[in-house]
Amino acid sequence: MENYSTFVIAIIGLAAIAVLVISANVSVKKLVGIAAYFNLSSTFMGMTVFSVATSIPEITSHLTASARILGGTLDYQIGSAIVLGSNIGSDVVQQTLIMGLVVLLSGTLYFRRYFLWKSMIPMIGTTVMCILFGLDGSYSRLDGAILFGTFIAYTYYLFADERKHYKKEDNGIASEEIAENIPQDLREVFIDTAIAALMLAVTVIAAGYVLSITELVVVRTGIGGSLIGVVTLGVASAMPELITALAGVRHKENGISLGTLVGSNITNPLVAIGGGALLSTYAVPNPLIQWDLPWETVTGAILWAILWFSKGKLKKIHAFYLIGMYFVYVILRAWFFSVDY
C-alpha cells in the first residue's frame, strides 16, 4: 500500500471507514434487539447496552491499535494519537454537533433532573479523569485499570438502580425500530448473537485498515494523527450514536436518545481508552491535554448548566449554541494544534 498515491490511499481509507461504520451499525441493531428481549428499560439500555454497542467503532479501534502496538506493527506515538484523537473527537461530536442536530429535529428534548446528577456528572467526571491521568504524557496500565474498573462499578450501580425502579412501560417501542427485529425466543437470540459477533469481526478488520492508512497519511503529510482522528474518524465513529438517538426521537423515547449520547461519552473513555491502555499503554499527544479534553469538559459543563437553568429542556436555540461550539472547536483545533508532539 506504500506504493499507492496519497489520494488513492485516502479513498481506500474512506472505504474502510464506511465498512467499519456499516458493520458496527449491524452489530448495534442485533445487540439492541437482544437487550430488548430481556426487558431492560429504555433509559438503562441507552446508558449501558446502547452506549457500549454504539461505541463499537471506538472500542475495536483501540483494541486493534493496542494489539498492533504490542506486535510492533504500529508506531507507538502515531497509533496512540490516532485512536485517542478519534475517541475524544467522537465524544465532542456527540455532546455538541449530534446533540444539537437531535434537538433541531425533535424540537425539544426533556431531561429529568436526576439524569443530570446520575449521568451527566459522571460523564464530565470521566473526562476530568482522562485529563489528570494524561498530565504525565501517557496512559499507563494502572490508569487503564482504574478507568475500566470505574466503568464496571458504574454499570453495576446503574443495574442495581434499574432493578429497583424498573417499570415495564419504560421499555419503549424505539428499541424495536433500532433493532428492526427483536428475537422471539432463545434460538433467535443465539442467531442474532452470532451475526453480531461476525459483524464485530468485520469491524475489527476494517479498524486495522483504517489505522494502517491513517498512519501512512500522517507520515506522508506531517499532519498530527490526533487531528486526523478528531476530524474524520471521530465523526465517522459517532454515526451509530446519531442513528440510535434519532430513532429514539422518532418514537419520543428521550431515554434512548439521551442515554445513548451521554452513556457513550462515559463508555468511550472508560472502556475504549481504559481497555486499550490496560493492554499496551498510550502516549498522550499534547493537544489532547491542552485542548481536546478541556474543551470536552467545558462543553459538558455548559450543557449541564443549560439543562439546569432551563429545567431540563433543550430547545432549538440551545441546539445552535451546541452546533456552534463544535465548529469553533474544530477550527481552533486545526489552527493551533495540528502537530501532536
Instruction: Supply the range of the domain harboring residue 190.
Output: 6-336
Residue 18 included in any domain: yes
pLDDT for the residue 246: 66
Give the long-range contacts of residues 327-330, CB within 8 A, separation 24 or more: 329/92, 329/96, 329/295, 329/299, 330/230, 330/231
pLDDT for the residue 172: 47
The DSSP 8-state label assigned to residue 46 in this structure reads I
Q: Contact, 21 vs 207, CB < 8 A?
A: no
The widest CA-to-CA distance across the chain, in whole angstroms, is: 59
Beta-carbon contacts of residue 223 (< 8 Å; ≥ 6 apart)? 217, 338
Number of domains observed in the structure of the chain: 1
Residue 332 included in any domain: yes
Residue 87 included in any domain: yes
pLDDT for the residue 85: 87
**Torsion of the alpha carbons at 233, 68, 224 and 323, rounded to the nearest 10:** 20
pLDDT for the residue 232: 72
Residue 1 included in any domain: no
CATH number at residue 88: 1.20.1420.30
* 283-295 burial code (b ≥16 CB/10 A, e <16): bbbbbbbebbbeb
Euclidean distance between CA atoms 115 and 48, whole angstroms: 14
Angstrom CA distances, 125 to 50, 113, 119, 120, stand at 20, 18, 10, 8
Residue 341 included in any domain: no
Residue 319 included in any domain: yes
User: What's the average pLDDT block by block, 10 residues per block, for the chain (341 residues)?
Assistant: 66 75 71 68 57 74 89 89 86 85 76 72 92 95 95 82 53 51 79 81 72 70 74 68 64 60 82 93 92 91 85 83 90 85 66
Q: Contact, 288 vs 85, CB < 8 A?
A: yes
User: Which three cell numbers, joined as nine digits, stand for 297?
Assistant: 469538559
Beta-carbon contacts of residue 65 (< 8 Å; ≥ 6 apart)? 74, 79, 80, 82, 83, 207, 211, 276, 280
Tell if the pTM clears 0.85, that is, is over it.
Answer: no
Q: Contact, 80 vs 285, CB < 8 A?
A: yes
Q: Contact, 88 vs 296, CB < 8 A?
A: yes
Euclidean distance between CA atoms 278 and 280, whole angstroms: 6
pLDDT for the residue 40: 58
Residue 12 included in any domain: yes
